[in-house]
Structure 1
Amino acid sequence: MTQLRWGLLAAGTIAGHFAAGVEESRHGVLTAVAARSGDRARDFAARFEIPNAYGSYEDLLADPDVDAVYVSTPHPMHGEWAIRAAEAGKHVLCEKPLTVTAAAAEEVFDAARKHDVFLMEAFMYRLHPQTRRLVELISAGAIGEVRAVDTTFSFDSDPAETARLGDPALGGGGILDVGCYCTSLARLVAQAALGVDVVEPLEVSGMARLSAAGVDEYATGLLRLPGDILATISCGIRLAREDGIRVFGTRGQLHVPRPAWIHPLRAPGTSEIILTPSSGAPEVIEVEATQGIFAREADHVATHIEDRQSPELTWAETLANLRTLDRWREAVGYGRTS
C-alpha cells in the first residue's frame, strides 16, 4: 500500500503524538478525527490540518475515505471501538493495552478475523531500532545465557490532572498504563534468549500500594519465565523512579538507561545500549533512529496491512502479555478498596 488514510478515534494527548507521526510517515495521511465533542474534534483537526472532524465516533467509522483507525480512547473502551471499527471494514491500530483483560481481547481478534482487517496493539517501542538491537545482542549470545532481567517504567503524576489514572472504572493504575511495557519487555528478552516467538511466565507474584479506590499507585512484580529467567518489573503513576532495562547473563550484562518508550526517544536521534562483559570494560553501543517512533509505527501498519497481523506484534503476543497483566493485577489485589 502506497498510502494509508488514517482516522483518529479520540483526540487526546497520545492521539496528538500519533497524528504528528503520521505527518512524518512515508505511507500515511490524516483524513479524519473524531471526539465526543465536535468542538474538540474541530480544534484538533485545525491543529493538524485534518480535512474531516466528527463529533461522534460512529460518524468517523462511516467515512468511506478512512482506511485505518487509530483507537486511543480510555482503556476500557478500546475493545468496543476496535470491534466496531473492524465491523465497519477499517484496519485497526489500538493503543495498549488492547483490552483490559485477556478474555476481552479474544472478541477483538474474532471481529478482526471475521471482517478480514489488520489489527495491531500499539506497542510502538517494539519497532524502535534500540529494541531491535537489544534483541539482536541477546540472540547472538553477547552476554551468554540470560539469567535475569530488571525493568522499570514509573512516573509521578498529579491526581487532579490525571483523574483517569486513579479511576478503576477507566482501567486506572500503573500496571495497565505503563507496567504493560515492563511485562512486554521482560517476555521479549526471554523470547530472544530462548529463540521462540512467544513466552508466558510460569509464575507471577507481586505487591503494590493501592489507592483507596483499589488502583495500583506503584507496583513491583516478579516473573519466572521459561529457561529459569527471572524478571523484576516495576511501574507506577504516583512515584518517580529511574526508568531503565538491565539484562544479566552468564558472560555479562546489558543496560538500557533510556528505553525506547520514554518521551525523548520518540523523536529521531541516537540512543545507547551499554554492554558490560564479565571481564572487561563497558562498551557503549549507539543506535540511530532516523524516523520518529510514531511515524515508524504508522509505516509498519501500512507495510503489513495485507498480512492482517504485524510479524513483531502478533495477536498471540498481545494475548500472552494481557494474560500476564491479568495475573499481575490479581497478585497485587487490584480493585481491593480500603
Structure 2
Amino acid sequence: MSTRVITYGTYDLFHEGHVRLLERAKALGDYLIVAVTTDNYDSTRGKLNVRQSLMERIHNVQQSGLADQVIIEEYEGQKINDIQRYGVDIFAIGSDWLGKFDYLNDYCKVVYLDRTKGVSSTQLRDEGGILRIGVLGSGRIANRMVDEVRFVSGVSVEGVWSRQQSSAQAFADAHELRFAAASIEDLLAEVDAVYLATPHGTHVELARQAMAAGKHVLCEKPLALTRADAEELYALAEQHQVVLLEAIKTAFSPGFQRMVAVARSGSIGQVRSVDATFTKLVSSGRELAAPDGGAISELASYPLLALVKLLGTGYTRVVSSSLQPEGAEVDTFSRIDLTYPHAIASARVGIGVKAEGDLVVAGTRGYIYVPAPWWKTEYFEARFEDPGDDKKYYFKFDGDGLRYEVAEFASLIRNETPESFKLRSSESIAIAAIIEAARTDATLLR
C-alpha cells in the first residue's frame, strides 16, 4: 500500500529552500499532496507581505515536478479534514513549526523537516528578491523577532552576531540559522540588512557601522537616547541611501494606525489631551542598570509614539518627574508631561511600579479609549456625550507584533522608499529628544 504525504505552505517567491523542503517531504512516501494557502487564509493567520497571486504560487509548485497533487488551503481546521479526506499517512512541515501541529498525531504521523541551512543566500536573493537579514544581539527580543519573521514573506534571517560567540552559536542553532558570525564585519558581509537588538547604549554606534557598510537598519527602540544622535543616524541613512527604521512595533500595527486616523479625522473634535501609560515589573537585568537602563529609556518610546502621532512634534515644553528609590541605579517609575500650543499630554512608564496600561485621547466632542495593553491595539472605543453615538472598533494584532515592523521594513527596501508615514524620521527624532530631556531634567523622588 502506498504512503501518502501532505504538506502545507504559502510558497511565495518559490526558491531552492522550498524545493528542498518538498524533496524531503516527497522522500517520506510514495505520493505527495501539496496544499497552497489562499490570500485570505494567509491574512487570517497573520502572514504578511505575500507578493504573488495564488495562481502564480500554485503554478510554481506544479512546475517543480515534486507534487503529485496540489490542493488549496482556505480555512483554519482544514488540515484535519484534508488528512481524512485524502487518506494521508504523514503530515510533513518545516521544523520552524516544531510542536505546533502535534495535535495532528491523532490522525496521522507528524514529521518536522529540518530547515535548509545550506541554501545559497545569493541564490535566494536572485530567485525572488529575498531580503537577507542578520541579527545583532541574541536576547529576548531577538528571539521573538526571528520567530515572527516566518510570517513575513520574502524575508530570511540568515545569521547572528553577539558579544559572546557562544551565545551567538546557541542562538543560531536554536533558530537553525545559516551562521553565527565571529565579528560584526563577518555578519555584514553576508546580509542585506540588520535587525539591531543589542542594549540601548550600543544602538548608535552599531547602526553607524551597518549603514557605512551599505546595509539597511531596523533598530529596536529607542533608536537613540539623544536628539543629536538620532539626527545624525537619519542623516547617515540619507547619505548612504539605506533605510533606517525604528522598531516601535505599535506604530505599524493595524489597530493603532486606525485609532490615530479616527482621532485625527475630527470625529471626536479637536484633540486637547493624550494620556498614555505603559508599565511592567522588572526584577533583574539590564533595565535596572545605569547608565542606559530605567523606565524612561526602556518604555517611554511607546507612549511618546502615541503623543507625537496624535499631537505632532511641535511641543513647547517637557517636564518630568521620576521615582528612583534608595539603592536603585535608575528610575523605576516616571511621568513625562508635554505642553503643546493647544493641548497637553502625559506619558507614564514604570519598571518597578504597576499601573493600568490604557490610552485616553480627549477631544472637544468626545474621546477615544484604548484599554490595556493599548500598545497592542486590538480594540478601542470612540465615546461621546450621548452614549448612543459611541462606536467600537476591533482589529487583529497577531503574535508579538514584530511581524508588522519587519513587513514595513522589507516593503520600504523593496520599493526604494526611504521613509514610512507610519513612523517618520521627524517623529523618531522627537521621541529621542523628549527622552533626552526627560532623563536629563527629571525631578527625582526617593
TM-score scaled by structure 2? Answer: 0.67
- Given candidates 281, 306, 312, the residue that maps to 1:156 is 281
Answer yes or no: is 1:6 the counterpart of 2:6: no
In the other structure, the counterpart of 1:167 is: 289
For residues 396 and 351 of structure 2, the distance between their equivalents in structure 1, rounded to whole angstroms, comes to 30
Matched to 2:311, the amino acid is A
The whole-number CA distance in structure 2 between the counterparts of 1:42 and 1:261 is 32
1-structure distance, mates of 2:335, 2:348: 4
Q: Which has the higher contact order (CA 8 A, sep 6+)?
A: 1
Aligned to 1:217: 332
Q: Percent identity?
A: 32
Q: Please report the RMSD computed on the Cα atoms of aligned residues, expressed in angstroms.
A: 2.0
Structure 2 partner of 1:295: 403
Q: Any unmatched runs of 5+ in structure 2? A: 1-127
Q: 1:190 aligns with which of 311, 314, 321?
A: 311
Q: Is the 8 A contact 1:258 1:272 kept in 2?
A: no
Work out the CA distance in 2 between the residues paired with 1:303 and 1:330.
36
User: Does the CA-based 8 Å contact 2:257-2:422 persist in structure 1?
Assistant: no
Name the structure 2 match of 1:36.
163
Deviations 1:231-269 (A, max 9, x none): 12100111111101001111111111034535xx6xxxx
Residue number in structure 1 paired with 2:185 = 58
**Alignment map for 1:79-228 (pairs within 5 Å):** 79-158=204-283, 161-162=284-285, 164-169=286-291, 171-191=292-312, 199-211=313-325, 212=327, 215-226=330-341, 228=342
SS of the residue 1:133 aligns to: helix
Question: 1:152 touches 1:235 (CA, 8 Å); kept in 2?
Answer: yes
Question: Is the 8 Å Cα contact of residues 97 and 176 (structure 1) preserved in structure 2?
Answer: yes
Q: 1:260 to 1:128 in 2, by over 3 A?
A: farther
Question: Residue 290 of structure 1: CA displacement?
Answer: 5.9
2: CA distance between counterparts of 1:157 and 1:208? Answer: 16
CA contact (8 A) 2:380 2:392 kept: yes
Offset, 1:167:
1.8
Q: Residue 23 of structure 1: CA displacement? A: 1.5
Q: Residue 147 and residue 242 in structure 1: after superposition, are their counterparts in 2 closer, same or farther (change >3 A)?
A: same
Of residues 112, 125, 144, the one that matches 1:17 is: 144
Find the counterpart in structure 1 of residue 57 from structure 2. none
Please report how far the alpha carbon of residue 175 of structure 1 lies from its aligned counterpart in structure 2 after TM superposition: 0.7
SS in 2 for 1:85: helix
Counterpart selection for 2:194 from 69, 73, 77: 69
- Equivalents in 2 of 1:52, 1:286: separation in Å? 41
Change (3 A) 1:16 1:137: same
How much has 1:89 moved relative to structure 2?
A: 1.3
Q: How many pairs were matched up?
A: 315
Cα distance per residue 1:31-84 (max 9 Å; x no partner): 111112222112111222111112332321232xx0110011101100000000
Distance in 2, Cα, partners of 1:152 & 1:185? 10
Q: State the alpha-carbon separation in 1 of the partners of residues 436 and 421 from structure 2.
A: 24
Any idea what SS the aligned residue of 2:300 has?
helix
Quote the Cα distance in structure 1 between the aligned partners of 2:297 and 2:310: 20
Report the equivalent of 1:233.
347
Letter of the structure 1 residue corresponding to residue 331 of structure 2? D
Q: Which runs of 5+ in 1 are unaligned?
A: 192-198, 266-270
The farther-off stretch of 66-75 and 42-51 is 42-51
Q: Does 2:368 match 1:258?
A: no
CA distance in 1, matches of 2:340, 2:173: 48
Report the AA paired with residue 101 of structure 1. Answer: T
- Structure 2 distance, partners of 1:41, 1:225, is 45
2 CA distance for matches of 1:329 and 1:140? 33
The amino acid that maps onto 1:279 is D
Aligned to 1:304: 412
Whole-angstrom distance in 2 between the partners of 1:111 and 1:203: 28
Q: Equivalent residue of 2:323, what SS?
A: strand
Cα drift, residue 213 of structure 1:
5.4
User: Which residue of 2 is the match for residue 319 of structure 1?
Assistant: 429
Q: State the alpha-carbon separation in 2 of the partners of residues 190 and 259 from structure 1.
A: 21
Structure 1 residue 284 corresponds to structure 2 residue 284: no
Residue 72 of structure 2 corresponds to: none
Question: Distance in 1 between the 2:256 and 2:138 partners?
Answer: 28
For 1:279 and 1:331, how far apart are their aligned partners in 2? Answer: 42
